[in-house]
Amino acid sequence: MEPMVTVILAAGRGTRMKSELVKVLHPVAGRPMLAYPVAAARAVGSRRIIVVAGYQKDKVEAALQGQQVDIALQEEQLGSGHAVLMAAPQLAGFAGDVLILCGDVPLVTTATLEAFLGAHRENKACMSVLTVDLDNPAGYGRILRTENQLRGIVEHRDATEEQRAVREINTGIYCCRAPFLFEALGKVKTNNDQGEYYLPDIVSIAAASGMKVQAVKTGDFSEVEGINDRAGLARAERAMQARIAGQHMANGVTLLDPQATYIEAGVRIGADTVVYPGTSLRGATEIGSGCTIDMHCMIQDSKIGNRVHVQPSCVIEKSSIADAATVGPFAHLRPEAVLEEGVHVGNFVEVKKSRIGRGSKANHLTYIGDATIGAGVNVGAGTITCNYDGKRKHPTVIGDNVFIGSNTALVAPVTICKNALIGAGSTITKNVPENALAVARGSQKNYENFMVPKIRRDTD
Ligand code: UD1
Ligand code: CA
C-alpha cells in the first residue's frame, strides 16, 4: 500500500470555548482532545503525523511531547485551507495520500477512518470527503451534489436558502492525493463571508477540473461531531465515558451505574472488579481483579492489586496497594503511600510517603507521614507521626510486630524496634529498643475523696 501521512488541524483558538486554554487541549476523559485524533491517525497506519499549531503553539507542542508528531506553525489563523498549506514544506516531494483530521474531533474511531480510507483507495479518488446526514445541519458546511456527484461544499454562512436545506454536511475529515492537495490550495480564494482560505473550497476546484472527488457518508454523527463550545465538550465527554465504560464491562468489570462513574482513558481494571457509582478513576490508575471500589472514591495514578476493598469516600493519589488490603471508609492515601499485602487502613487515616508492611493495621484517626512500618504492626487509634519540625521532614521507623497504643505522638526522627510496645497516650521522642515497653506520659495520681465535699455543698 502507498504511504499515507496525516495532517491534524489545531491552530485555532476555539473562541466559543471562552477559555484561556486553546480548545484542542481541553481534556476529554483526562486526555487533551487532540490526543485522540493523533492516536487514530497512528492506528490507521500514518507514516507521519503533522499537527498544525498556532494559538498557544508551545502548549500544544508540549502536550504532544514524546508522541513522534511533527509540528507545522500557522502563525495567523487565516482559515482551514491556509492551515493545511502550512504543512506543505514538510511534505515537499511526497506523492501519497494526505488524511486531514481536526484536532477538535476526538470521537472518530479507527473503524470509521479505515472504512473511509478503504473507499478512497478502492475508488482511486483524488479527493474524498467524509460526510453525514443531520436533522439539524445549521452551522456546518453543506455538501453540494449534481446528479449525485460531489460538486462542492458551501459554508452555512455563505449558503443560499436552498443550499441550507441540504442535510448532508462536511465532517471536516478529508483524504487527498498530496500533489493535487497543495496545488489546489494555492488556488483557493478568500471571497467568503469570513474572508478566510477555506479548505473545503478545493472540492469545487477538483470537480471543475474533472478530477475524481467523492463524498463518503458515515452513519454516526456523534463520532464526527466537532467540539466548538462547552456544551459540545460535555457531549463528547459523555460519549467517551460511555465508550470507556463499555470496554471495561466487555472485559468483565461490573460498573453498577456506568453513567454515574467517571473513568479516564488510561485506566486499567481487572475482571470481576466491582465499581460503585460516584467513583472517579483517573490518570494511569491500574486496578487488579476481584476488587471492590465502593462509592465516591477518587483514585488517581495509583496501582491497586487483586481483591482489594476500597470502602466509600476514599481519596488515593499516586499510591500503591497490594493484594487483599482494605482501605477506608474516609481514608486519604497521598503520594507515595505503599500498602503491602493485607494491610488495613481505616476511617480517617491519612498516609503520605510511607510504607506499611504486610498485615499491619492503622484502623482509626491516624496520620502516618514519612514512615516505614514493618509487618504485623498495630497502630492504635489517634497515633500521629510528628514528621515536621517547622523546617524539615523527618522519618519514623517502626519494626515488625510493634504495638502502638492509642493517642501516641511519635516525634521524628525516631525508631521503634521490633516487638516493642508503646503505652497509650505516649509522646515518644527517643528510640525504643527491641522487645521494650515504652511509656512516656504523666503518671496518674488519684486524690481520694476530692469531690466529696463539693458534691455535698451542691446538694445542700
Ligand atoms: C469546518 C468546515 C465545515 C465543516 C466543519 C465540521 C471550513 C471552512 N469549514 O467548519 O465545512 O462542516 O468544520 O466540523 O473548514 N483551523 C486552523 N487554522 C485556521 C482555521 C481553522 O488550524 O486558520 C482549524 C481549527 O483549529 C479546527 C479546524 O481547523 O480544528 C476547523 O476549523 P473551525 O473554525 O472549527 O471550522 P468550522 O466552522 O467548524
Ligand atoms: Ca469546528
Instruction: Read off the pLDDT of residues 237-286 as tens digits, 9 standing for 90 and up.
Output: 999 999 999 999 999 999 999 999 999 999 999 999 999 999 999 999 99
**Within a 10 A sphere around the Cβ of 92, how many other Cβ atoms?**
8
Name the band, by pLDDT with cuts 50, 70 and 90, for residue 453.
Answer: low
- Pocket flag, ligand 1, residue 142 (CB < 6 Å): no
Ligand 2 centroid to Cα of residue 102, in Å, is 8
Residues with CB under 5 A from ligand 2 (ion): 226
Phi, psi at 371, each rounded to 5°? -120, 155
Cα 29 → chain centroid: 5
User: Is there a contact between 106 and 240 (Cβ–Cβ < 8 Å)?
Assistant: yes
The owner of cell 528510640 is 431
C-alpha 83 to ligand 1 mean position (Å): 10
Ligand 1 centroid – CA 172 distance (Å)? 7
Task: Let me know whether 318 and 191 are in one domain.
Answer: no
Pocket flag, ligand 1, residue 159 (CB < 6 Å): no
CATH number at residue 11: 3.90.550.10
230 contacts: CB under 8 Å, gap ≥ 6: 17, 18
CB atoms closer than 10 angstroms to residue 166: 18
pLDDT digits (tens, 9 = 90+) for 31-74: 999 999 999 999 999 999 999 999 999 999 999 999 999 999 99
How remote is the CA of residue 251 from the centroid of ligand 1, in Å?
37
Cα–Cα distance measured from residue 320 to residue 328, given in angstroms and rounded to the nearest whole number? 15
Residue 443 lies in a domain: no
User: Best substitution site from 80, 136, 188 to test ligand 1's pocket, by max atoms within 8 Å of Cβ?
Assistant: 80
On whether both 117 and 205 belong to a single domain, the answer is yes
Q: What is the mean pLDDT of residues 310-339?
A: 98
Helix 35-43 vs helix 110-122: crossing angle, to nearest 10 = 50
Reported as a pLDDT band with limits 50, 70 and 90, residue 452 is confident
Contacts of 347 by beta carbon, 8 Å cutoff, 6+ apart: 328, 329, 330, 331, 363, 364, 365
Q: Using an 8 Å Cβ cutoff, are 82 and 196 in contact? A: yes
- Which residues span the domain enclosing 290? 243-438
The answer, yes or no, to whether any atom of ligand 1 lies below 6 A from the CB of 131, is no
User: Is 77 touching ligand 1 by the criterion CB < 6 Å?
Assistant: yes
Q: What is the mean pLDDT of residues 147-171?
A: 96
Q: Is the CB of 172 under 6 A from ligand 1?
A: yes
Q: Is residue 103 part of a domain?
A: yes
Cβ–Cβ < 8 Å for 264, 283: yes
- Containing 437, the helix (H) or strand (E) segment is strand 437-438
**In 86-229, where does DSSP find H-type helix?**
110-122, 161-164, 178-185, 201-208, 221-224
Residue whose Cα lies nearest atom 21 of ligand 1: it is 80
pLDDT tier for residue 459 given thresholds of 50, 70 and 90: low
Q: Is the pLDDT of residue 1 over 90?
A: no
Question: Mean pLDDT across the stretch 142-150?
Answer: 94
Q: Domain check: are 253 and 137 in the same one?
A: no
Residues 430 and 413 sit within 8 Å (Cβ to Cβ): no
Residue 333 lies in a domain: yes
The dihedral built from the CA positions of residue 66, 72, 74 and 80, taken in this order, carries a sign that is negative
Question: DSSP secondary-structure letter at 444?
Answer: P
Instruction: Report if residue 237 sits inside a domain.
Output: no
| Pair (122, 86) in one structural domain | yes
179 shares its domain with 47: yes
Average pLDDT of the chain is 96
Cell of 224: 464526527
Cα-to-centroid distance, 14 and ligand 1 (Å): 10
Structural domain contains residue 455: no
Contact predicate 365/371, CB 8 Å: no
What is this structure's pTM? 0.92
H/E stretch holding 48 reads strand 48-53
Per-residue model confidence (pLDDT) at position 2: 77
Nearest Cα to Cα of residue 202 among 183, 178, 184, 179: 184
How long a stretch of residues is the chain?
Answer: 460
The structural domain count of the chain equals 2
Our answer on whether the CB atom of 140 is closer than 6 Å to any ligand 1 atom is yes
For the CA of 8, the closest atom of ligand 1 is: 30
- Residue 100 included in any domain: yes
Q: How far apart are CA 350 and CA 352, in angstroms?
A: 7
pLDDT at 238: 97
Catalytic residue chosen out of the listed positions 156, 296, 309, 364: 364
Q: Going by CA atoms, what residue is nearest to atom 8 of ligand 1?
A: 198
**Do residue 211 and residue 110 come from a single domain?**
yes
In ligand 1, the atom with minimum distance to the C-alpha of 81 is: 15
Write down which residue in 194, 224, 254 finishes a domain.
Answer: 224
Is 26 part of the annotated catalytic residue set?
A: no
- Of the candidates 400, 362, 416, which has an alpha carbon nearest to the alpha carbon of residue 384? 362
Check whether residue 247 and residue 392 sit in a common domain: yes
Cell triple for residue 78?
487565516
Residues 248, 158 within the same domain: no
CB atoms within 10 A of CB 431: 14
Provide mean pLDDT across the span 183-202. Answer: 96
Q: What DSSP character marks residue 161?
A: H
Please check whether residues 253 and 213 belong to one and the same domain. Answer: no
Pair (114, 176) in one structural domain: yes
pLDDT surpasses 90 at 450: no
**Cα–Cα distance between 305 and 303 in angstroms, integer?**
7
Q: 169 by DSSP, 3-state: which?
A: strand
| Same domain as 213, residue 175 | yes
Which pLDDT belongs to residue 387?
A: 97
Residue where the block lists cell 487509634: 381
Tell me: do 40 and 183 sit in the same domain: yes
In the three-class reduction of DSSP (H, G, I as helix; E, B as strand; rest coil), residue 119 is classed as helix
**Does residue 337 fall inside a structural domain?**
yes
Residue 374's contacts (CB-CB under 8 Å, 6 or more residues apart) are 357, 360, 398, 399, 400, 401, 402, 418
- Name the residue among 45, 94, 54, 48 with its Cα closest to residue 72: 54
pLDDT value, residue 393: 97
pLDDT at 454: 59
Residue 458 lies in a domain: no
**Domain-ending residue, one of 224, 253, 274:** 224
The CATH number linked to 433 is 2.160.10.10
Which atom, in ligand 1's list, is nearest to the CA of 170? 12
Q: Is 171 in the pocket of ligand 1 (CB under 6 A)?
A: yes
- State in Å: Cα 80 to ligand 2 middle: 10
